[in-house]
Amino acid sequence: MVHHPDKGGDQTKFNQIGTAYEILSNPEKRRLYDLGGSDAVERGHAPGEGGGDFGDIFSSMFGGGGRGGRAKPSGPVKGDPAPFALELSLEEMYIGVLKKLRLIRTIACTPCNGKGGSNSSTCSKCSGRGVRVIVQRLGPGMISQSQATCDGCRGAGTIILPKDVCQSCQGEKTVKEKKNAEVKISPGTRSQQTYVLIGEGDQLPGQLAGDIIVTISEKKHDRFERRGHHLFYRQKISLLQALTGFTLYIQHLDGHQVKIQSKEVIKPGMTMKIEGEGFPHSFGEGRGIDTGNLYVEFDIVFPTTAQIQGKVKSLQTALPDNCLVQNTPVKTPGSSGQQDTIVEAYPQLVDLATPSSVENRLHKAEENKWNTFLHQQEKTAYRSGGGHDDGDDEDMGHHGMGQPACQQL
């Protein structure tokens, strides 16, 4: 508008602006210019790889000289990454698992090489620009200009006659592809951790296939709760067990049993720590694998009124201001009919009720370290990858508009 002749602008410069727009808004002319500059555009074909870049045309028209300006991107553009949320059980996150995903993705049509057909020609309605410029004169020396997608070529800049339309993609330039992909989940994986399936996303004509970013989430467990790299387990014990001691067996996430014993008085609110029975982790520091802890939180079951009827005096003599209940069943090794693996534990009583306790301060420091590692992982996510294999033809869900569809096998 600044250089429009009706606004007092220079006609020559205005024509140069129009020429620049005509080249840069047309995919074919833009491609030729990338390969051979203005000469290639005038000839209609490129002499070979190389040539000018976008900076040349603006430098020659608006000053600056030389071959300055923005550098031409090297190689094809990569498609946008597609997000995918994968929910895992605590067992899968503890042990590690190979998960299979079904994909429906968009790829460039192979028979027509993503062109939609053969013998395409420049759209006469938009002159290959893909948009139509609408100019309205509002008054002397004043105009209004707007643009809209060309309805003749739907913004492509080229049209294909019905007889030349590709039978594979029906002129759409892309087709849907069904396949399977695999993502290997490492032991100790946490919520919000990501895995990258390189080149498994959508591929539009003239682009490299994008990636799929798999983000892990955690299913709620019926027995364990995960907090950072540690496991928490609530265990009911009778008042008799709390006072006189006990031996218990806890079934772990991978099937082995952890044997814990106590010969001390367990008071309400006490927590028992078993080192090395939590989740494996490394923080990516190359120092090997560490393991979190298992914390057993106790719920003491007090007897009912009926259970202590007729025993009040004897209880008052033996246990002033206390109660006595029958013992509750405890799972023992081999109760399932199979030989169980038992891990002998050496528990410690720790303080988790006080926010400033040593144990809570340790957990806070671990979480800060994990968040730092997670931030670094996000910045280098594309270093990871995933494989694939042939899949079947079941229906799949979708991530969203224009994104590959995937679901768990």
- pTM beyond 0.85: the answer is no
- Regarding whether 82 and 60 lie in a shared domain, the answer is no
- Regarding whether 247 and 361 lie in a shared domain, the answer is yes
- Regarding whether 245 and 137 lie in a shared domain, the answer is no
Phi and psi (nearest 5°) for 134?
Answer: -110, 120
- Regarding whether 362 and 228 lie in a shared domain, the answer is yes
- Regarding whether 184 and 50 lie in a shared domain, the answer is no
- Regarding whether 327 and 248 lie in a shared domain, the answer is yes
Is the alpha carbon torsion for 72, 75, 76, 80 positive or negative? negative
- Regarding whether 363 and 277 lie in a shared domain, the answer is yes
- Regarding whether 58 and 197 lie in a shared domain, the answer is no
- Regarding whether 138 and 211 lie in a shared domain, the answer is no
pLDDT in tens, 36-60: 777 777 767 665 444 444 444 454 4
- Regarding whether 311 and 235 lie in a shared domain, the answer is yes
pLDDT in tens, 102-130: 888 888 888 888 888 877 788 888 887 78
The secondary element (H helix, E strand) that includes residue 207 is strand 207-208
On the CB side of 229, how many CA atoms lie within 13 Å of its CA? 25
- Regarding whether 276 and 228 lie in a shared domain, the answer is yes
Looking at residue 234, which CATH number applies to its domain? 2.60.260.20
Is-contact 87 177, C-beta < 8 A?
no
**How high is the pLDDT of residue 321?**
56
Question: In this structure, what is the dihedral angle of CA atoms 5, 11, 15, 17, given to the nearest 10 degrees?
Answer: -70
Based on the structure, what is the number of domains in the chain?
4
Each residue's pLDDT, cut to its tens digit, for the chain (409 residues) gives 777 666 777 777 777 787 787 788 777 777 777 777 777 777 676 654 444 444 444 544 554 444 444 555 556 788 888 898 999 999 999 999 999 998 888 888 888 888 888 777 888 888 877 887 777 777 776 777 777 788 777 777 778 878 888 888 888 888 998 888 999 998 999 898 899 998 899 988 888 888 999 999 999 999 999 998 999 999 999 988 998 899 999 999 999 999 999 998 998 888 999 999 999 886 644 456 788 999 999 999 988 888 888 787 777 777 655 444 444 444 555 545 555 677 777 788 888 878 888 888 888 888 888 888 777 776 665 454 444 444 443 434 444 434 555 566 6
Query: What are the structure tokens assigned to 206, written together?
Result: 């003239």
Structural domain boundaries enclosing 58: 1-75
- Regarding whether 290 and 204 lie in a shared domain, the answer is no
